[in-house]
Amino acid sequence: MDRIYSQPGINAIIREKAAELGSAAAALSYVHRHLREALSSAEVATAVHDVFPIGASQDSVGKLCRCRGMIQEVDPSVALYRASPNNFLGAETTDDAVMLEALQVYVIPVPGNAHFYGIQDQQQTGYQQAQGAATCTEGGGFLPADTSDLGRNSGLDRKRRERTPMGDQTHQGEWNSEDPDVERDPKQSRYEGDKLLGTLPAHSAANVPLHHQLNLPHPPLCWTLHTACVVTVIYGGSAEEEPLRLNDVVDFFGFIDEPSIVEHSCGPYAEVEDFENFDAWHTEQLPPGVLPRMTCLSWQRVYCQPDRPLCHFYFESKRPLVLQHLKNTVCKGDSLLAEYILLHLCARVITQEGGMPVGDLPLRVEGDIVNLDMWSAYMREVAPVGEVLLDLSKLTSSSLRVTSSLDEKSNILRAGVLQLANGTHVTLDSRAVAIASSGVQDAIFSAVHKQVLQLEYPYQKLELPIDLSFLVLSTTKLTDEIGFLQLAVSVRWLPELTTEAAISNDISVDEVRDYFAQVRRLPRRFEREDDISTTQLSDKLLAFSQSEPRWNNHDSFIHNNSFAMAASMMRAYAASVGREVITNESVGFVLALEGQRVARCYDET
């Protein structure tokens, strides 16, 4: 077992299995499966060195490492990997070398995620910080009830920024530790950031922010997440698995490449396969400490399959505690809204049918005063994959890139703010969307209602299927909202607790996040012989629509139709109690909940 943690040990295993199974590809396939099974145990996985954040993999050359992150780009030029069965990971070229199918991917820390990288223990929680700010001011991240002048003022501000002279250093991307776009850890010294900058070429640090050089879609939550990794995935005999795709969250297991090995590996590729850009891709003169390279022997998608058998009792016992936590914290005593937030966080895209996503649940929350920062900070603590806030500062920026586009000069896919890891939670500021450009609105519409990310190439636009959860925060009446944000599921927020009156909970935030992670892993199916049929479901929804005519929004766009969203809520409820399919209990629960929501929305004076 201990052999898997060292490069010599893995070399020995591949050598033995190649002799036993007859090929290096078969040996690599064995190692891929063996590592995946062996590292599924949390106790065993602690012996693996992490690549992120910066410094975690120090002195890890020759030791097994894990790179957990989001695939930001796939390099189409890498196709083969040269290796010897007798010294698979060695630098020497031998006569028995073989060419194996390989793929090179650019992996970044998951945007909006802190708990993957252990940085939540380095600072006061973001939710607590936002709560503290809420007691002091109503500026900054608040949505005031009166936004009549907001669009005009923001529009003028945007125009002023667009007219800023080209010589202005801020718009040339000057690295500035006071820049509000850089989310700095308040307890981290400036010295750490200065040390990091000291390793960069002077002209690079002076002209382009490091997170832009690294092609990160959002500024990291911590200085030590200003990093990325170029991972060479050797497929071998495991190429029949589902291919790795953009925005997947993956654990890559392998070994950090020594500079000598990197230099050695590039030469044969360029000579044999004419991959002249193999070594130059994504480097941009960054030092290895910021952009390491890794040779991957095994990988596992994160939160895609149950990591341990869980019975219904786990979900049924945890659900009330999670609901109470939501009610007592972010919902401020509003039990109805807490139910909808729980269903919203349990929903995910199951499939795409006819170009429309099935299973996701966009949610709109309307309140008199909404603290954007507080909501986003809480979602970041409980969302398993990550949380990103898209507000005025993001959506009205003159330098905004909302979708990802190909940079023809560098042949790199430049990340936009909507290129996020699948499973990410996105909090949307409705006022920012309302005054954003038509191009930004089109991209957000595609993401919210079609669950696709537009990829812009010189001669075409591609649509990449995604899986994001959208929460729209608003102080505007539903009828006055911009068209595509008039969501079928909109809840009027009636807080009952002040910030100081929040009740202590019987469940920790880590347990809440783990619950949502386990729900996300749960398989989702549509129907089974002993469960409710499609016809029965349609009949019940139709009967409810007739008994509650105000419920049906009659939206011709299927994804935002009340019937489709009710079905999504039923699937989310079934998953929240550990079931894979909709049952009569799911239908009854959701229809009762919808009755309360409609009564609140229309009966409140």
pLDDT of residue 237: 58
Please give the pLDDT value at position 173.
31
The pair of structure tokens assigned to 70 is 């989001």
Interval 7-11 mean pLDDT: 93
Q: Per residue in 24-42, pLDDT tens?
A: 899 999 999 989 888 876 5
Identify the weakest region by mean pLDDT among 88-102, 304-318, 460-474: 88-102
Beta bridge pairs of residue 298: 253
The reported pLDDT for the residue numbered 339 is: 98
CB 372 within 8 A of CB 143: yes
**pLDDT of the residue at 96:** 79
3-state SS class at 295: strand
Taking residues 498-526, what's their average pLDDT? 82
For 276, half-sphere exposure in the C-beta direction (CA atoms, 13 angstrom radius) is: 0
421 pLDDT band, cuts 50/70/90, is very high
Per-residue model confidence (pLDDT) at position 136: 46
CB 281 within 8 Å of CB 75: yes
No. of H helices and E strands in the chain? Answer: 19, 20
CA 168/CA 536 separation, integer angstroms: 64
Distance, in Å, from the CA atom of 223 to the CA atom of 89, rounded to the nearest integer, reads 32
How far is Cα 562 from Cα 331, in angstroms, rounded to an integer? Answer: 24
pLDDT at 132: 57
**CA-based end-to-end distance of the chain:** 67
Q: What is the mean pLDDT of residues 77-101?
A: 79
Dihedral over alpha carbons 235, 236, 242, 246 (to 10 degrees):
10
Q: Quick: pLDDT tens for 201-238.
A: 444 444 678 888 899 999 999 989 999 999 999 987 55
3-state secondary structure of 586: helix
Strand order in the sheet with 404-407: 412-414, 404-407, 452-457, 460-465
Q: What is the pLDDT of residue 183?
A: 52
Q: Which one, of 46, 68, 44, lies nearest residue 116 by Cα?
A: 68
pLDDT at residue 95, as a whole number: 73
Helix (H) or strand (E) holding 566: helix 562-576
* Cβ proximity of 392 and 431 under 8 Å: yes
What mean pLDDT is reported for the chain? Answer: 81
The Cα 384–Cα 381 span in angstroms is: 8
Average pLDDT over residues 134-155: 46
- Average the pLDDT over each of 30-39, 41-50, 130-139, 457-466 and give the range with the smallest value: 130-139
> CB of 269 within 8 A of CB of 275?
yes
Phi/psi of residue 480, each to 5°? -95, 0
Dihedral through CA 318, CA 322, CA 325, CA 327, nearest 10? -130
- Domains present along the chain, CATH in parentheses: 2-115+225-301 (no CATH), 312-603 (3.40.50.300)
Task: Label residue 97 exposed, middle or buried (CB < 10 Å: 0-12, 13-18, 19+).
Answer: middle
Contact indicator for 394, 400 with CB cutoff of 8 Å? yes
In one-letter notation, the amino acid at residue 79 is A
* Whether the predicted pLDDT of 600 surpasses 60: yes
Q: How far apart are CA 177 and CA 182, in angstroms?
A: 7
Beta-strand ranges (E) seen in 144-217 are none
Alpha carbon distances (Å) from 365 to 304, 334, 405, 473, 491: 29, 12, 32, 5, 5
Residue type, 433: V
Confidence of residue 266 (pLDDT cuts 50, 70, 90): very low
Q: By C-alpha distance, which of 106, 74, 110, 72 is closest to 425?
A: 110
CB distance 525 to 582 below 8 Å: no
Closest CA to 568 of 547, 554, 587: 587
Please write the tens of the pLDDT for every residue from 473-510.
999 999 999 999 999 999 999 998 765 545 556 899 99
Question: Residue 127's closest CA among 427, 557, 494?
Answer: 427
Percent of the chain with pLDDT over 70: 74
> Which pLDDT score, from 0 to 100, does residue 141 have?
60
- Tell me if 500 sits within 8 A of 545, measured CB to CB: no
Instruction: Give 472 or 269, the one with higher predicted confidence.
Output: 472
Using one digit for the tens of pLDDT, what is the confidence trace for 526-563? 655 445 677 888 899 999 999 999 999 999 899 999 99
What was the pLDDT predicted at 597? 97
State the pLDDT at residue 380.
96
**How long is the chain?**
605
What is the identity of the amino acid at 539?
A: D
For residue 182, what are its two tokens? 């850089």
Show the DSSP H helices in 347-491 as ranges: 372-382, 392-395, 430-435, 438-445
Higher pLDDT, 459 or 493: 493
- Whole-Å CA distances, 389 to 111, 405, 430, 471, 474: 11, 21, 11, 10, 13
Tell me which residue of 68, 66, 48, 55 sits closest to 1, measured CA to CA. Answer: 48
Contact present, 385 and 424 (Cβ < 8 Å) = yes
In whole angstroms, what is the distance from residue 206 CA to residue 173 CA?
A: 8
Quickly list DSSP for 71-98. EEEEETT--EEEEBTTBTT-S---TT-E
Read off the DSSP letter of residue 488: S
The rounded distance, in Å, linking the Cα atoms of 23 and 64 is: 23
Q: Which of 503, 476, 502, 501 is nearest to 490 (CA)?
A: 476
Segment 327-334 mean pLDDT: 95
Query: Which residues touch 508 (CB under 8 Å, ≥6 apart)?
Result: none
Rg (CA), the chain: 25
- Give me the amino acid identity at 117: Y
- Return the residue matching tokens 């911590």: 222
What percent of the chain has a predicted confidence (pLDDT) above 90?
55
Give the C-alpha separation, 7 to 255, whole Å: 7
pLDDT score of 72 more than 50: yes
Q: How would residue 127 be classed by pLDDT, with cut points 50, 70 and 90?
A: low
In degrees rounded to 5, what are phi and psi of residue 418?
A: -95, 0
Has residue 276 got a pLDDT over 70?
Answer: no
Q: What was the pLDDT predicted at 289?
A: 75
Tell whether the model's pLDDT for residue 145 goes beyond 70: no
